[in-house]
Amino acid sequence: MPASLCGTWDMISNVNLQGYMIALGISPHLRNIALKLKMKKVIEQRGDQFIIKTTSTFRNYTVSFRVGQEFEEFTRGLDNKNVKSLVKWKGNKMVCEQTGEKKDRGWAHWIEDDKLHLELYCEGEICNQVFKKKVKQ
Ligand code: VL7
């Protein structure tokens, strides 16, 4: 059983978000805004349903799904595309394949040294983000 992804997480590093956004076709103006953001992740599990919220001072994005069940995702406020998404466990990684207009698109989450890792990929561009667990206050 992989370590739980659940909790509230603060971004501590963000490598090649620019390349990933260019691959998605995001405009230069929006890319400049997005590059300045310190995103948070809130990951919850209710029964067999997962909810992943990405939040920032600019926009929020929420997706919910069941592992192994393909679903329709509209990436509202990101690149605004319809994709068919499927999340699976591959070893200790939660992996999502997002099939649509863009080739080789998806993401993976895993825990390493108490940190939440996220790899976002699209058409050969990979963005790596790391989050640390938010201290309770
Ligand atoms: C989603 C940013 C940049 C467009 C706005 C920036 C607002 C805050 O897909 C993602 O997460 C997965 C895995 O955790 C679950 O949905 C990452 C943020 C990546 C993409 C695109 C810039 C416009 C960012 C919502």
Walk along the chain (137 residues) and give the pLDDT tens digit of each residue: 577 999 999 999 999 999 999 999 999 999 999 999 999 999 999 999 999 999 999 999 999 999 999 999 999 999 999 999 999 999 999 999 999 999 999 999 999 999 999 999 999 999 999 999 987 76
Atom 17, ligand 1: residue with shortest CA distance: 54
pTM of the entire predicted model = 0.96
In this predicted complex, what is the ipTM?
0.97
Residue 14 lies in a domain: yes
Residue 20 lies in a domain: yes
Residue 35 lies in a domain: yes
User: Domain tally for the chain?
Assistant: 1
CA 5 to chain centre: 12
Spatial separation of the C-alpha atoms in residues 8 and 11, rounded to whole Å: 10
Atom 2, ligand 1: residue with shortest CA distance: 78
- Going 96 to 101 to 104 to 105, the CA torsion angle's sign is negative
Q: How many CB atoms lie within 10 A of CB 55?
A: 15
For residue 107, which atom of ligand 1 is closest to its CA? 13
Q: Cα(61) to centroid of ligand 1, in Å?
A: 7
